[in-house]
Amino acid sequence: MSSHPPDTGWHIDQRCTNCDVARQLAPGLIGEVDGRSAVIRQPRTDAEERAMRAAAYACHTRSIRHDSQGLNPTLDPFPLALDEHLYLCGHNSPKTAGANSYLLCRPTGNLMIDTPRWSSVSAAKYEALGPVTEVLLTHRDHAAHGRRYADRFGARLWIHEGDLDAAPDADKIIHGTEPIEIADPVIAHPLPGHSKGSVLYLADNMYCFSGDSLYWSRTTMDIEVFDSVTWYSITELAASLERTAPRLHFEWLLPGHGDRRRLTTQDMKQRLQNLATRTRKLPPAPIDFSALRW
């Protein structure tokens, strides 16, 4: 690990909405202070400088700033490799409450799951990884820019009928609660709960793109649901999990909000079954409308 000169220039301004993306990308450097992300320590190594820069390029409010640096396009780390064929898109959008989006490269056509902010420059970088044939929306909150990216790529835009009003010009509409095949083997599992039309996308028995239905919690160190921001029905979400959990086999949990995590398939399966049991016991919670500022 190479050393890096001491730096006092990184800070986060008052536009921060406490979306947690920066803390995911630069743990130990950025933390939560008084309900917002804040720089708790300046980078000391090249690796930490790259982590801070990734947080800055992902931030949907562009709140992470350096006294002597702008966002130099030549230093943009996105799309950022998470696994051999899996990328974090970065450049999170204020129109999706700062949600993460992903690009999965596959021989039969690449998948974009949810959408980063629109940028023709970013779109060209995603295209450079291979043709994108499907843009998959997990639910209504993350639908912004979907049509624009799909048109740029010549891809099909997918959404569930329960959230169709958020993307009425979608090319492919998922119906009901039974899983359907998007490609081989990419399966859409309808999971009403967070929204009426929430969907999990399972790819290659390896990657689960969960939108805002499930996430990895740094607090409990387990898979959790956002019970206080389950807009549609916690009861429906519990039923969805009970129906769907036995069908899911994957190693990577990749949410829109909340932490990502890779575990063994067996560990994920056991945790999902436990989550289904816990969720069934949750009473309907007051909705935290302040979270809309994500």
Q: What span, in angstroms and rounded, lies between the C-alpha atoms of 262 and 148?
A: 31
Res 151: pLDDT = 98
Q: How many CA atoms lie within 13 A of 122 on its CB side?
A: 26
Res 251: pLDDT = 98
Mean pLDDT of the 230-245 span: 94
pLDDT tens-digit series, residues 160-171: 999 999 999 999
State yes or no: pLDDT of 292 exceeds 50.
Answer: no
Res 170: pLDDT = 98
CB 291 within 8 A of CB 229: yes
End-to-end CA separation in angstroms for the chain: 35
Res 285: pLDDT = 62
pLDDT tier at 1, thresholds 50, 70, 90: very low
pLDDT tens-digit series, residues 183-229: 989 999 999 999 999 999 999 999 999 999 999 999 999 999 998 88
Res 30: pLDDT = 97
CB 226 within 8 A of CB 212: yes
State yes or no: pLDDT of 281 exceeds 60.
Answer: yes
Amino acid at 187: I
Res 11: pLDDT = 94
CB 52 within 8 A of CB 59: no
More confident residue, 281 or 290: 281
Residue 278, classified by CB atoms within 10 Å of its CB into exposed (0-12), middle (13-18) or buried (19+), is middle
Res 73: pLDDT = 86
pLDDT tier at 283, thresholds 50, 70, 90: confident
Res 6: pLDDT = 45
